Amino acid sequence: MDLNPAGATGSGANDIHGSHQVGWAEIDGFRRASLWSGCAESREDLPSFFWSDTVATGIWSDESFIYISGYGFSNDTEGYQALLWTGVVPAPSGAALFTLVGLLAARRRR
């Protein structure tokens, strides 16, 4: 299965749940946490806000929500931090809206 989207210099899938795949796509020199539904054109960029070089590492869902774990580089703490995205399970033809709901790693102390 080819998940490399147009404009990306590389991509990789790290986990699969049902018809969804999660991983990263490298765009403009940074990895961006991504969600796919079986093809490169279905790629959704997971919001990263204050993090760069984000990677999605796991996916799980119940009947209501999709949970995606991963990590990203924080310029604020100058280190990688664990991240968790959640989204509502979309209707078969709809797109999920994801929010970054948790920062699970402790900040590096100076």
The residue behind tokens 């279905």 is 42
Q: Say how far residue 84 (Cα) sits from the centre of its chain.
A: 9
Q: Say how far residue 11 (Cα) sits from the centre of its chain.
A: 12
Q: Output the pTM of the full model.
A: 0.80
pLDDT at 8 over 70: yes
Categorize the per-residue pLDDT at 84 as very low, low, confident or very high, splitting at 50, 70 and 90: very high
Whole-number pLDDT of residue 105: 42
Tell me: the pLDDT tens digits for 60-81? Answer: 999 889 999 999 999 889 999 9
Categorize the per-residue pLDDT at 99 as very low, low, confident or very high, splitting at 50, 70 and 90: low
Domain ranges across the chain: 10-103
